[in-house]
């Protein structure tokens, strides 16, 4: 994150894992994380972790509050679909963003239909990376709030109360 959060505000740490990106793309993504402002996520600290392969990425999934995964379309003998399959086994999977130098409408449609959050074309454009990753994080936060709200409604209705608490 560029700049320091305001004093007295809680810092939200947003953890992102990049998987299978080549050196140039990995370096470009790291530079974007270092130099960019994240206006949609004020008082947040973005942390980027890298993984070269599917097996090493799987060992990181589900640990340490990982929230977003940016994955190259092709991972050697594996692909982003294999990673998505592994992520779907988690109780609270991170959002998946697929990347490719040949990102086209077919990849975009396939990725979204199978459960990825979005597709990023490489080489990375800083403003687009910030927009897509911020949107993925905000979407994830809203999904968690909705789940918590539904759980609260169920708890109230299971206690035999004749009213439903409206979550705001």
Determine the average pLDDT of the residues in 20-30.
92
Phi, psi dihedral angles at 79 (to 5 degrees) = -145, 175
DSSP per residue over the chain, as a string?
A: --S-PPTTSPPEEEEEEEES--HHHHHHHHHHHHH---TTSTTEEEEEEEESSHHHHHHHTTSTTEEEEEEESEETTEEHHHHHHHHTTSSSPPEEEEEETT--HHHHHHHHHHT-SEEEESSPPHHHHHHHHHHHHHHHHHHHHHHHHHHHHHHHHHTT-SS-PPP-
- pLDDT tens, position by position, 40-82: 787 888 999 999 999 999 999 977 689 999 999 999 999 999 9
Rounded CA separation 113/132 (Å): 17
With a pLDDT cut of 70, the percent of the chain lying above it is: 80
What phi and psi values does residue 69 have, to the nearest 5 degrees? -120, 130
Instruction: Pick the closest to residue 115 from 97, 103, 91, 130 (CA basis).
Output: 97
pLDDT for 1: 42
pLDDT at residue 6 is higher than 70 = no
Mean pLDDT over 9-28 rounds to: 88
Where do the structural domains in the chain lie, given as residue ranges? Answer: 12-158
Residue 108 clears pLDDT 70, i.e. is over it: yes
Q: What is the mean pLDDT of the chain?
A: 85
pTM given for the model = 0.81
Confidence of residue 5 (pLDDT cuts 50, 70, 90): very low
What tokens does 158 get?
Answer: 């299971």
Question: Regarding the domain delimited by 12-158, which CATH topology (the fold level of the hierarchy) does it fall under?
Answer: Rossmann fold (3.40.50)
Identify whether 123 is preceded by a cis peptide bond (ω within 30 of 0).
Answer: yes
């Amino acid at each position: 994150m560029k700049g320091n959060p305001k004093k007295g505000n809680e810092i939200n740490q947003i953890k992102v894992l990049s998987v299978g990106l080549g050196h140039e793309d990995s370096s470009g993504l790291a530079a974007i994380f270092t130099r960019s402002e994240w206006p949609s996520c004020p008082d947040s600290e973005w942390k980027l972790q890298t993984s070269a392969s599917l097996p090493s990425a799987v060992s990181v999934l589900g640990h340490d509050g990982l929230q977003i995964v940016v994955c190259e379309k092709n991972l050697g003998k594996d692909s982003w679909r294999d990673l998505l399959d592994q992520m779907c086994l988690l109780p609270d999977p991170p959002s998946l963003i697929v990347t490719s130098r040949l990102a086209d409408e077919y990849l975009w449609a396939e990725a979204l239909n199978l459960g990825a959050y979005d597709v990023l074309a490489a080489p990375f454009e800083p403003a687009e990376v910030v927009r897509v990753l911020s949107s993925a994080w905000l979407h994830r936060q809203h999904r968690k709030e909705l789940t918590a709200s539904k759980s609260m409604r169920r708890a109230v209705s299971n206690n035999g109360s004749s009213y439903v608490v409206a979550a705001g």
